């Protein structure tokens, strides 16, 4: 049992995989698995009992160019088959650029993130009517994070608070002076009432 590398037409890997799979099912060939690793363009891996079974599975099919001579073992391709789990940092409110069709190069604002499904719901910024569009997380690139805007807003609010504190501080200083004036007025009232009594 060995793993064979099949050269196929670039961007037609999925179609070639389907054609090989159909042929293997119909002819009941000794092929155990077929895979197209994410990010590897122009190649498919086929696990078969022997080279003859692999050649028969790939022979005379559209999009299939041939089998590469060297066979592989699982350890050599293990890193291509196991998914890399990366922490995706996309949050609600981020501005993203869509890098996949049909909205390629459009800018959008993230409305909702569903990390379990690997999708984000975005609202296109240049659209006349805001319509929510669901896009795979792989098809967006973060341009601007909400944190930057939040930090800018915090700094702006902090400056406003400082300005407000200066104003309220001046008012607080004025209030005791006003109280002292009112106590002087009481003294004047007392004097005036004493004068009236005499």
pLDDT, one tens digit per residue, over 137-152 is: 877 888 877 655 555 5
Residues of the chain scoring pLDDT < 70 = 83-88, 146-198
Enumerate residues 6+ apart whose C-beta is below 8 A from 156.
none
Report the C-alpha gap between 130 and 197 in whole angstroms.
80
Q: What is the dihedral of CA 9, 13, 17, 19, to 10 degrees?
A: -50
Structure tokens at 152: 């800018």
pLDDT score of 64: 93
Indicate the pTM of the whole model.
Answer: 0.46
pLDDT score of 85: 57
Report the C-alpha gap between 186 and 193 in whole angstroms.
10
Which of 67, 76, 88 is CA-nearest to residue 4? 67
């Amino acid at each position: 049992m060995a793993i064979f590398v099949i050269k196929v037409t670039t961007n037609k890997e999925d179609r070639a995989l389907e054609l090989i799979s159909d042929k293997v099912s119909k002819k009941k060939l000794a092929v155990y698995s077929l895979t197209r690793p994410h990010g590897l363009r122009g190649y498919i891996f086929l696990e078969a009992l022997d080279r003859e079974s692999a050649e028969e599975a790939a022979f005379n099919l559209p999009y299939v160019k041939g089998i590469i001579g060297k066979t592989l073992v699982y350890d050599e391709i293990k890193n291509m088959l196991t998914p890399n789990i990366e922490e995706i940092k996309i949050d609600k409110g981020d501005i993203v650029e869509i890098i996949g069709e049909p909205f390629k190069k459009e800018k959008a604002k993230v409305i909702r993130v569903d990390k379990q499904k690997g999708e984000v719901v975005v609202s296109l910024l240049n659209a006349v009517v805001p319509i929510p569009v669901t896009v795979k997380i792989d098809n967006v690139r973060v341009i601007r994070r909400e944190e930057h805007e939040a930090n800018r807003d915090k700094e702006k609010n902090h400056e406003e608070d400082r300005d407000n504190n200066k104003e309220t501080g001046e008012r607080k200083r004025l209030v005791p002076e006003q109280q002292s004036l009112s106590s002087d007025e009481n003294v004047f009232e007392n004097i005036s009432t004493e004068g009236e009594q005499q």
